[in-house]
Chains A and B, each alone.
Chain A
């Protein structure tokens, strides 16, 4: 059903649009343009590479598109681009969006359903956008007695924390927003914030079910933090570095999955628990505690937390790829030159594109593996979960550490590769 107001007249509609355009034109010519010229008079024009970014440059770009290459080259090497767009947050958010769509379709196929079908004509490909608009348009309800500033701040901090972790993931040789020498420690430090946020939010909600959910989240995440860190230790021993890029580079002969399969298993299970995914979705256990620590979320607050969760999923899948599956390493399949006999400045780098391709492919494979248990498992109980975390996984992690130490002291492998 079309939803037009009762007293709708097309003439009024056109008139209102014309009225709006008129006022925009008046304001732009009288206020905005003078303001821009005044500012431009005092502020020096920015440099992009060797050129000054003047308005005339943009006109010349229209004639000769190759003139944009140095500027693009300059822009993609700025820190802001790396942190915000690639390989930082925007890349992670796009992967997160793809993950949500893949999860729905994948799970639907497993359960003999079709999944999203109508939005976007082809297999419901625009379902996520529809859901996003729905969440934005919904009212955010804050329960009475809630701690308002915390209630608003926590979802934003949640996304920010997840985004911070993406800055440390090396996607291709040289392509990492922040190439820290203690990258792996920094990632674990950032991931350690999430239980705190869950508890803060559940406390701010001022409700019983979120409180139980928050406590469960805290118990669960602390129980799995230790095996999580211990499972990364063999890789540190093998590569002799805490830098994630160097960890990838030291896997040029073989993937560390070959010598640390038990650690990889422990890492996988722990990351399921960190992500609160089935079978470890206790903090959000629907049939027991409504929606756990997310019970009082509504509208975009829920949307932000979901975004943060899926970005976190990308971070953990990417971390698994970096630690165990050789990161960007893979056979060269892209040609060295995209356009034959091209002699201008170029931004295409075959090694980097190849690295991005293999990294993304492996990450998606890992994401599928993380999504899989949701289709085949029920939820685990809290005491079994804690027992698994504190007893079994820690022991397994130590076993692999001893195996790796034996290999190193036996002289079979040295830190940095085979002997």
Chain B
């Protein structure tokens, strides 16, 4: 507010008070309305952020995670390496194979063991299938966030395909506890390869429909294009990862830059976009799903038909004192485990580095200055899973 305006206002104020009218001066603070989004807001998840709006524009944003903190890292210190598996997959049950994948890799490095070849392939297949499950679920929620009910129902229905396959592998629908140090819990059932190929081929047809109906919808594009632009430099400085990083024009995929298990034998492209907006962040996971179908086909093709899937470890394995850090590409980006061992059967310290927590750092940066109507499309495009971030 300029001084001139203030003086004018004062004059007017004196006039009106003389007339006996009451005038209340509007200050900058009065213009702002504080809104609490979450944890019971339908568009937040187990997460809360406070925003201040000036008219329709957001001027302030304060993320407040931590509503579902369960102390997974501390809990890991009281259980031995094998016992840790079922509780470590809890933070992100929709991607439970990937979150135990990097843990298993790190523990295997500590124990100094190598997984049998067939086990490595089955692990990679389970990981890809579970990534599809997660991405479909994420896409479904994105539909809800944009008010598109069909976009919720279709992916949530097609997710059952991959859940079926994972149930055939592990016996559980959502929390599989399938990866364990030394391989996978059990071998794939008979006929799994054919079933998997059939489902993946059907899903590829569905993906074409997804693109036509969701991504080529002009209203979807209006909502997401040029919204929440995260430039390449900002993306690097804020340390985002996964699809958010790839949507900002950086072809960074752990499967490519640090191949683990059998990924160096697989021929695939890292999908990325250069538009840096919410549309790119919504579209890159879709491209990843399409690429993931190719990866699954190749993995099924190259998988040895028989052999061990699990290395026989002693019942309570312990390794040499030391530390290890391994990461995999999860549905939300790099998911790493830093494990310190003191030579006992229990880890001395476990640190989980999750993609969600890194991506949410970009939220205040993107929300401030955008419109209230853009809030859902920016927030959920960040590929954030509140429970995983809280660990």
Contact = CB atoms under 8 A, between A and B. Distances in A.
A123 interface: no
Interface residues of A, number: 30
B347 to A, nearest CB: 40
Contacts of B35: 208-209
Given A112-B157, A375-B150, A287 B217 contact: no
A181 interface: no
B150 A376 contact: yes
A291 B141 CA distance: 17
Interface stretch (B11-19, B349-357, B369-377): B369-377
A380 B375 CA distance: 13
Contacts of B42: 286-287, 290-291
Given A378-B219, A381-B222, A288 B146 contact: no
A219 B9 CA distance: 29
Given A378-B217, A381-B222, A381-B373, A278 B147 contact: yes
A382 B371 contact: yes
Contacts of A281: 147
B317 to A, nearest CB: 46
A113 B42 CA distance: 23
Contact of A377 (B33, B43, B219, B371): B219
A287 B147 CA distance: 7
Contacts of B143: 378
Contact of A112 (B33, B154, B213, B372): B154
Dominant secondary structure of chain B at its interface with chain A: helix
A40 B206 CA distance: 73
A288 B217 contact: no
Contact of B151 (A208, A289, A290, A378): A378
A376 B373 contact: no
A59 B371 CA distance: 71
Interface string B138-149: 000001111111
A287 B153 contact: no
Interface in A284-331: 285-291
Interface in A172-198: none
Contacts of A374: 149
Nearest to B44: A287
A110 B33 contact: no
> Would you list the 9 A-B pairs with minimal beta carbon distance, nearest first?
A379-B147, A287-B43, A111-B153, A378-B148, A378-B146, A287-B376, A381-B373, A287-B145, A111-B150
18 contacts: A112-B157, A209-B35, A212-B372, A286-B147, A287-B42, A287-B144, A287-B146, A287-B376, A288-B43, A288-B376, A376-B217, A377-B148, A378-B143, A378-B220, A379-B219, A381-B374, A383-B56, A383-B371
